[in-house]
Structure 1
Amino acid sequence: MNEQLLKDLLNQDLDPVETREWIESLTAVIGADGPERAHYLLERMVDETRRAGGHIPFQPTTAYVNTIPPQREAQSPGDAAIEWRIRSMLRWNAMAMVVRANRKPGELGGHISSFASSATLYDVGFNHFWRAASAEHPGDLLYIQGHSAPGIYARAFLEGRLTQEQIDHYRMEVDGKGVSSYPHPWLMPDFWQTPTVSMGLGPITAIYQARFCKYLEHRGLIPESDRKVWCFMGDGESDEPESLGAISLGGRERLDNLVFVINCNLQRLDGPVRGNGKIIQELEGVFRGAGWNVIKVVWGSYWDALLAKDTSGKLRQLMMETVDGEYQNFKAFGGAYTREHFFGKYPETKALVAHLSDEDIWHLNRGGHDPHKVYAAYHAASAHKGQPTVILAKTVKGYGMGEAGEAQNITHQQKKLDDSEVRAFRDRFKLPLSDEQLADVPYYHPGEDSPEVRYM
């Protein structure tokens, strides 16, 4: 039997010739007049079908790929190499802060894995989008995810805003020389803008903050500006009642000064967020239904070539079929496991990666760790009008921690690393520290006149 005919039968296509004609017509419209015209025509056809009595339910989710295709991505003006070195230093110092604190009596707690997964999300914002208050601009407002606080302290240390003594008293601020566990303007009024812990507090207050900014502008009480309210939260945090409880207000009031960035590392405190489901798809449907603009940043640049060669559509199908618990396994168990259990599911997808080594497969990156994809999403969110925007960025919890907890269920509770794990962390991010120095897990600063600090 003809292979294409078999596919048509399996897809229950009653008239495959007609289907192909419609697809070819739509492709021609996209080529001649662009995707916006094609979208208009599709909406008209759906409307006509409903007018004729057909029941076509609203579909709030899209394919499990990036919302912005490669050819439409805004290009980052930054120096990719120097920004990678900065992120490596931030990751190291954030990790060192927590590890050093928990080698002291009392085990002070803290979190390594949350910032490890979101470092790129913050770095791109600080480097290219967020503006401080000045005479010309009121400044953007940031609601930082609470568990990522060590990474923000690490950046302030490199910038010279915090001293080593201060960050070495992480979670020991009683004597006035430490830094607080989480974003806390009452304890650190010259550092934090907004409180975001307990979980869920940040998202709901960010919505009302954005609404109040619009209120003041509309009544002439403050000048109109392009000020943005940026709120960071975790995908597990989205289950807190406050996190999603007011999102309909954002859509209803058309708060285009509001951007949510949800770090979708697929893990909560002690396990998967949706082990047998897909949290990114779920959140996409919830936010789109509430009137938000949704931007998915699922896959990094290393996937672009594979998706371009996916003429059969099997890779996209496989991406949609695979649940979050399986995606965590692939990152936890490496490239050979991923080749067999992910790409090996279909002959077409197995052939797509035949030229790649197991190490190449393991390095296929998630979108939230790709600064180019994140920049494109932030650029689109900043320019969008008439709706609030949510960016759903897929990441790996504990990114860079290796056997100490990368993509593992234990990673959120990981406060300590042994000598070999610290050494592996140093090697992965190429920090210029000797083996002898590692015993104390020292902070690293390249110097005030270094290219990295001047760049920041």
Structure 2
Amino acid sequence: PHPWLMPNFWEFPTVSMGLGPIMAIYQARFNKYLQDRGIKDTSRQRVWCFIGDGECDEPETLGAISLASREGLDNLVFVINCNLQRLDGPVRGNGKIIQELEGVFRGAGWNVIKVIWGEEWDALLAKDEQGLLLKRMNEVVDGQYQKYVVMPGSYIREHFFGDEPELAEMVSHLSDEKLKKLRRGGHDPEKVYAAFHKAVHERDMPNRPTVVIAKTIKGYGLGEVGEGRNVTHQQKKLNEDELRAFRSRFGIPISDEEVAKAPFYKPAEGSPEMKYLRERREALGGYVPTRPEKSPRLKTPGLDEYRPFIEKSSGREVSTTTGAVTLMASLLKDKSVGKYIVPIVPDESRTFGMDPLFKQCGIYAHTGQLYEPVDSDQLLYYREAKDGQILEEGITEAGSMSSFVAAGTSYSSHGVPMIPMFIYYSMFGFQRIGDLIWAACDMRARGFMFGGTAGRTTLNGEGLQHQDGHSHLFAMAYPTVRAYDPAYVYEVAVIMLEGMDRMFAKGEDWIYYVTVYNENYEMPSMPEGCEEGILKGMYKLRDVSAKKPASRMPHVNLFGSGAILREVLRAADILAKSWGVNSTVWSVTSWKELRRDAQEARRWNMLHPEEPPQTSYLEDVLADAEGVFVAASDHVRAVPEQLDPWIPGGLFVLGTDGFGRSETREPLRRHFEVDAECIVVGTLSQLAKQGAIGVDRVAKAIKSLGIDPDKIDPASA
């Protein structure tokens, strides 16, 4: 049951193991954030996260627990179900997972409550004056404890209590059947209740998170069918005899005649059980799970209010990153939406030019700033504040994305439409935390993700570890991600303001992924009438005509996105000046949106064969286009190639397949064959393929433009 199938019911799906714990930590921190900023009183809210002991091997499960204690998250409780077993076998067959987890959490500053043994053990422990029973409990490893589950009481008597005469005497009054029924703490309702009560009301350390570690048996109640056995996870159904045994063991009032139907048992409405359940839920504020969407719609600003962002930069060179951050700073001052914006950054604020926001908004710190920063004498000093607005997460994209999820689902979980704006190195987004992004989509989160320092050739000098050329390929697979690759600040502005409107004025469930670059160049003003094309993915930017066009030369259509659009424009000029080729340059802002729309039209036509066929936006804007179609971007070729089925005669694509390199932009673009000269050669090769020019002219261009035809293939370099 997930929010897309049950949108009014399922609130916090956690997709892969390990994601629930890290998202719970940052959810609890975000609740404090809302409280400290005066946006909502969350003082009575508590975040509970239920985890398996095997799940603790996932790095995300334990990787952020120090943040929880550091931030004083007394509103957070982990409950770890330690049945000692994972899918294939024991979690720590030769060790003790409970002691291991206790040490980890105590070391991280958490309150630790253990629920190990049921009340049947209390009398035995009370008689253990020499500590022999406790010693035996501590020396038996988890794999052996699992063996006791599947063996009779006589085996337990011999192998657990039999090593010491005093221990054997301690249980001599108990039958083998009673030994078998000695429960583990997680199956004792009173012990579990006491642990939960202590977690809420009697913590050893105030202002700290709490973990309840409970020892249980996997498949408890299934008996020989699956209780404590390695195959328990594969046990999908019970036969009639097994159902009858399960019914009898737990005293479920279902007759022998009904058992075979495996009916769902619900106590009568007026029964003590139902009365108690309803009273408790009403006292706690309502039923869970539930997923209400009760947040108000925001009045989002329009483009007219931010006209400087669509005007020419007048000789001043800026990057699209600067444009996006400057617009963010302006929106933070907006009276309608400013207080709802949550800037999120993983220790790259200065990289992206966000340090002016330190003074403007402050960096969130629950304790406030307890020290004088080293740059306190400067205007843009590092300012932390209890009511700070920026979430400076440190070097953790996973933590940052977890904050994005908490903020992006706040419209539902809190009834407050917060607007996360998460900016990071684009290489460390979909590639590194794609699972969390998928979870955000699943949870119908809303917000902006900015892939900064994007482009395999635009981020120069940092090598293959940082140079992203494939995040847009990943983004293609995420249903609610609208992925854009703008080249100009006016495109960024149109996309951001439209995103604000769709997500927070109209309440649509989207995540806007926008790649922004660190290359500085003069920004043109927005051409008239291109707003629709920017949002739908493509618009005609410019016609480039040759002074002396070659006779019978087919027209050329050049597609470009992001920083490589400027190389496409330069290629168009070379084609016109040196080869007499007329061209139209198209700015592609979203390869994905073009494909999404084209696929929708194709699907509709398949299912409505008797209706007049629909055409996509891409087909409409290219209805009168003909000739050669060439695309270039700072991303792998597979991104533009997805448009090939809808391009007349097909689409020839240049891209940045392969590992990045530590070089400057010009050599990088030549290496990956996306500079203007390579675009020219690619275009001429397609004209030769159509028979419009001879192949000798392509060879001439390769030589005159200084391209080495025998250089290494970048895709395999």
Q: 2 CA distance for matches of 1:376 and 1:231? A: 18
Does structure 1 conserve the Cα–Cα contact (< 8 Å) formed by 2:31 and 2:42? Answer: no
Does structure 2 conserve the Cα–Cα contact (< 8 Å) formed by 1:280 and 1:392? Answer: yes
Tell me, yes or no, if structure 1 residue 380 matches structure 2 residue 198. Answer: yes
Tell me, yes or no, if structure 1 residue 289 matches structure 2 residue 110. Answer: no
Tell me, yes or no, if structure 1 residue 422 matches structure 2 residue 422. Answer: no
1:232 aligned counterpart, secondary structure = strand
TM (norm. structure 2) is: 0.38
Tell me, yes or no, if structure 1 residue 240 matches structure 2 residue 61. Answer: no
- Residue in structure 2 matched with residue 219 of structure 1 by the alignment: 37
The percent identity for this pair of structures is 68
Amino acid paired to 2:24: A
Amino acid paired to 1:390: V
- Residue in structure 1 matched with residue 69 of structure 2 by the alignment: 251
Superposed CA deviations along residues 210-267 of structure 1, whole A, max 9, x for unmatched, are: 0111111122222252311000010011111211111111111111110000000111
- Residue in structure 2 matched with residue 325 of structure 1 by the alignment: 143
Q: 2 CA distance for matches of 1:324 and 1:186? A: 40
**1:150-169 matched pairs, under 5 angstroms:** none
Amino acid paired to 1:431: I
Q: Kindly indicate which of the two structures has a greater share of residues assigned to helix.
A: 1
Does structure 2 conserve the Cα–Cα contact (< 8 Å) formed by 1:312 and 1:348? Answer: no
**1:299-310 matched pairs, under 5 angstroms:** 299-310=117-128
Superposed CA deviations along residues 365-396 of structure 1, whole A, max 9, x for unmatched, are: 11111111111111111122221001100001
Amino acid paired to 1:200: G
1:215 aligned counterpart, secondary structure = helix
Amino acid paired to 1:443: F
- Residue in structure 2 matched with residue 367 of structure 1 by the alignment: 185
1:436 aligned counterpart, secondary structure = helix
**1:10-409 matched pairs, under 5 angstroms:** 180=1, 184-383=2-201, 384=203, 385-409=206-230
- Residue in structure 2 matched with residue 129 of structure 1 by the alignment: none
Unmatched runs of 5 consecutive residues or more in structure 2: 278-717
Task: Report which stretch shifted further, 435-444 or 237-246.
Answer: 435-444
Does structure 2 conserve the Cα–Cα contact (< 8 Å) formed by 1:195 and 1:201? Answer: no
- Residue in structure 1 matched with residue 253 of structure 2 by the alignment: 432
Unmatched runs of 5 consecutive residues or more in structure 1: 1-179
Amino acid paired to 1:433: I
Does structure 1 conserve the Cα–Cα contact (< 8 Å) formed by 2:3 and 2:10? Answer: yes
1:448 aligned counterpart, secondary structure = coil
- Residue in structure 1 matched with residue 391 of structure 2 by the alignment: none
Q: 1 CA distance for matches of 2:272 and 2:215? A: 30
1:410 is aligned, of 231, 239, 243, to 231
User: Alpha carbons of 1:281 and 1:351: their partners in 2 closer, same or farther (altered >3 Å)?
Assistant: same
Amino acid paired to 1:221: I
Amino acid paired to 2:72: R
Does structure 1 conserve the Cα–Cα contact (< 8 Å) formed by 2:51 and 2:81? Answer: yes
1:379 aligned counterpart, secondary structure = helix
- Residue in structure 2 matched with residue 441 of structure 1 by the alignment: 262
Amino acid paired to 2:251: K
Superposed CA deviations along residues 400-438 of structure 1, whole A, max 9, x for unmatched, are: 000110011111111021222111111111222232222
Q: 1 CA distance for matches of 2:16 and 2:42? A: 32
Find the structure with the greater CA-based Rg: 2
Q: 2 CA distance for matches of 1:239 and 1:219? A: 35
Q: 2 CA distance for matches of 1:432 and 1:376? A: 28
- Residue in structure 1 matched with residue 521 of structure 2 by the alignment: none
Q: 2 CA distance for matches of 1:449 and 1:293? A: 39
1:291 aligned counterpart, secondary structure = coil
- Residue in structure 1 matched with residue 551 of structure 2 by the alignment: none
Q: Which structure ranks higher in relative contact order (CA pairs < 8 Å, sequence separation ≥ 6)?
A: 1
Does structure 2 conserve the Cα–Cα contact (< 8 Å) formed by 1:238 and 1:244? Answer: yes
Superposed CA deviations along residues 176-224 of structure 1, whole A, max 9, x for unmatched, are: xxxx2xxx23332221221122111110000000011111112222225
Q: Kindly indicate which of the two structures has a greater share of residues assigned to strand.
A: 2
Q: 2 CA distance for matches of 1:445 and 1:257? A: 32
Q: 2 CA distance for matches of 1:265 and 1:373? A: 16
- Residue in structure 1 matched with residue 575 of structure 2 by the alignment: none
Q: 2 CA distance for matches of 1:214 and 1:450? A: 39
Does structure 2 conserve the Cα–Cα contact (< 8 Å) formed by 1:229 and 1:257? Answer: yes
- Residue in structure 2 matched with residue 455 of structure 1 by the alignment: 276
Q: CA RMSD in A?
A: 1.3
- Residue in structure 1 matched with residue 474 of structure 2 by the alignment: none
2:256 aligned counterpart, secondary structure = coil
Q: 2 CA distance for matches of 1:452 and 1:438? A: 22
Q: 1 CA distance for matches of 2:175 and 2:69? A: 45
Q: 1 CA distance for matches of 2:194 and 2:11? A: 26
Amino acid paired to 1:318: R
Q: 2 CA distance for matches of 1:244 and 1:296? A: 18
Amino acid paired to 2:101: L
Q: 2 CA distance for matches of 1:279 and 1:452? A: 35
Amino acid paired to 1:233: I
Q: 1 CA distance for matches of 2:260 and 2:27? A: 45
Q: 1 CA distance for matches of 2:152 and 2:14? A: 35
Task: Report which stretch shifted further, 412-421 or 274-283.
Answer: 412-421
Amino acid paired to 2:254: L
Does structure 2 conserve the Cα–Cα contact (< 8 Å) formed by 1:338 and 1:361? Answer: yes
Q: CA deviation at 1:347?
A: 1.1
User: Alpha carbons of 1:258 and 1:399: their partners in 2 closer, same or farther (altered >3 Å)?
Assistant: same
Q: CA deviation at 1:452?
A: 2.3
- Residue in structure 2 matched with residue 10 of structure 1 by the alignment: none
- Residue in structure 1 matched with residue 609 of structure 2 by the alignment: none
Q: 2 CA distance for matches of 1:400 and 1:421? A: 10
Superposed CA deviations along residues 427-451 of structure 1, whole A, max 9, x for unmatched, are: 1112222322222222223322233
Amino acid paired to 2:58: E
Q: 2 CA distance for matches of 1:356 and 1:349? A: 12
Q: 2 CA distance for matches of 1:381 and 1:445? A: 30
TM (norm. structure 1) is: 0.59
Q: 2 CA distance for matches of 1:397 and 1:272? A: 11
Amino acid paired to 2:266: H
2:236 aligned counterpart, secondary structure = coil
